[in-house]
Structure 1
């Protein structure tokens, strides 16, 4: 640890008006070795580091240590210059999981404008480090602290790019000031609108106001002329509210404004531009919403006034040149032309993509960590068998292989091989990468940035489906949620359209459990891509006969489907004739006039929720259930395999409140 700190100090420019350093050591209790204003010369700090001895003791109270540095180190009396806007950076070196709560201490630090970076050994809890860090990418794990060189340059880079904050001002007359601020922001928007070509065929404008919750003043298709927009803005009133939930507001804009129903022309290739005006740090997390907007191709400009967080507005804009910080709202006029110029010069049209399901770009991401060494031969065998199922060729299927552990490494990219034999030879010759731990999140980000690109042979922009197959032997030690979502939004997932039919037992036998069935269907629907027309959903209930609730072509949005699902009532009746119900689905639902797209190559998927055994007679219309299933398969239908369904049934169906008698030891 001491060696690492010494290396880091060597890279800094130490001085009273430059960089300052403090060191605190902790176990049960924290102890300050020297403060930010103790030493002003680099050699004095290095000499002091040499004299530090290991503190010892237990337990490891990281939460208490975080509170300690906030109250005792990042203060005026200890040499902190946060009032002057100097970046406040905390580097936490931890050898294991904290014995006390870190969540509230981490939140308090960030509210104090401190930017935490965390480094832990393999005994540390990566999720805990990510919670403490400014964002998950600011948390690192290493095998041992003497092996910290692998992340040293990245950590130094993060330290150096933390931006200067605006000096802190004392708030006076908050109500009058907020009203005045709002009028200044409104004037800024009006002047921007005056410089745009607002009409039905050119620029469209929407305005959203937010505090705790966002609300749209008007949508992209509300006004067709500049004058109409200006007239509406004259009547806008300050929304008010205490919390500033910027993350929720950004997600609201993506889900409710940048949509076809609200006037967005994204699918026609029209650039999507967002200008965010904010007066302070967000009360909620903005990261997921930012990545969602980025994945959609939205260009974001951020203008921060007064107490806005400089680091946050840069992370929202994704481009430092698209983030502007002004000390006073009267300075807004200085940046209007910069934003307008950037909008005019940097917004290429988005090319609408139509997918070609006859060709595929397939990437295998293999666990190459120390934990997978014994099973690596089986992993290679699996990949070889998959290769034989593909049609490898320059104008057919392409394939790439990447291994990962603590870092990711390309074995070969999508443009490397053009024949099946060459790919098979390359897979047979793969050597195990080795390394620790499993950083699947970083590996997924690597695949997005370096493999699913034109330079590496990806044909995404030609409409070729991008498919990623991950073979993992253990839990990831870093955050995977953000890169997974970015990959999906980038098109790296299954791009085949799906027609999904739910066949639900609506008989008297399930009446008491029907709300759980309805909730299960809703949970699945929330994961479908209905708004872009990729997925379509139908619902059929059955008992002694089958009854259509709605067809595949009835609804085109997720919200409409969810509203209907929420209103479903059990049809009633008994007994259950599943064979006849399956025959009904085949004849009446998986057909073109009911919205099925099987002739266009869309997958035909049936999800059946049965509450009891079928009573179909062999002399019935389908003879038996198996016959009906086989006939469905001939149509392209297949059961939907969802592992989460089993867990859901265990947690929600096999319970005493829903009628299960498992406590009575029934066999």
Structure 2
């Protein structure tokens, strides 16, 4: 009797699940009923020994069924098919057939082969050849690959690497795993997103994925061209080192030409500058030098290849300090973008990472392109503003495949949103300023100017933002209480009264004082209002352990900590120990007190983002993204 109840419940669950799946599929199909966009779709089909002739035929039938759901033709969807086992075979190219009937007929002629499961080699061959112009790929049309396999590959690492290269070449990857021998981790490594991974228990059940696959592909088939009419100051920082060579250097310059041709160029649109680096840095032409595509292309033709070492850190520093200056043509309020193109790891990873942090702190939006097998992906990640800004390609010849992706990546950030507005937001913000002997009075005054500039973005008042200032050196001092300033003008007057101290760097003492005294209700903290602490320091604290402990207590007390490290004496580990996670968003490095002022916009944004609206904490989606601010 117990068995019968279990069987009854199991069948009920299966029926309900099937009904739900059917409802979901029907609903999704209704939403994507019109699927008339363009796409170049290549099916990469496992023909290895574990599949077998019967199951291979079921895979081909599945492809036929999927093809029948699309409009096929030179102005619609094109289909190609590749198979793989121990070796790779291009069965028919995208440009070969232009009707459903001819594709189905071609599928009937494909032979099963058996052998090993060399998925990595298959992905590489597909990337390099199946989406080429000679194979029928149409410029500007979405490249889609559907990988169908019943088992794990011969090499996970090689397969994952080949999939990364495919994605970097602009191929949108879907992975379908069949049966019990699949490796879901590997399928996730292949697909462009985990939502693009589909699994089914058997080849007989494969047909159930037709509608889901169509639903997944339709929305990405014809991406609308991004409106790319905004302003941006874009500098290309190009590796001219010995490993590149003259021929490949010329291919890089051609790539830049192709990218430039995708933008509107002019004083009220996009400006382009180019720097090169090897053992030394050279500013080839500045942002303001040329105002037309023709003149930029002509200037690119005159750039000479030099050879030498790969001193990326120095190049980034020179670019940051000079290439985006007003004298070089940077326009105030216009997005600063740098595209770093290199074929190898730098002479010093740590120096390169530090130089990239300073560039980002100066408001430069960094994209990193790595070419060939000599690149260091970890270093590229350290350079770029986000991992989504890292692109890799197997060779200089394949570099051209990144044109569209780069344009798509840059367009959304070209015209930054208006400057920070904290209207309707409430937060209690305390500045904790290093006033120790290493700072000096001149630099301390520059710190006070940073405070003024950050607060200029705020609305000050009892129902808006409240701001206070503490200083620390050998001792701790409350300079401005949260309750002391009722307006921006009164706060500015109070800042003018703050004096420089000198002494040791007791950061832990400063953090403790801010936590226990400055955020007290007596000092003006409002119950239920978010607490934000902005720490500015130029050196390592006198006691790292005390600093770490004090920062933990501050964060436990609900204080959201941002930290600015100035100069070369600060340590990243200590700054990270002070700041609230994620450190990438809450730790800022400035090369000097002069360059530190460029951080006022992003610090204001982070402060506003932690604020609440009408006493309620902002939802995550309401927070002001750092990348949208100058």
Normalising by structure 1, we get a TM-score of: 0.34
Greater relative CO, 1 or 2 (CA 8 Å, sep 6+): 2
Normalising by structure 2, we get a TM-score of: 0.36
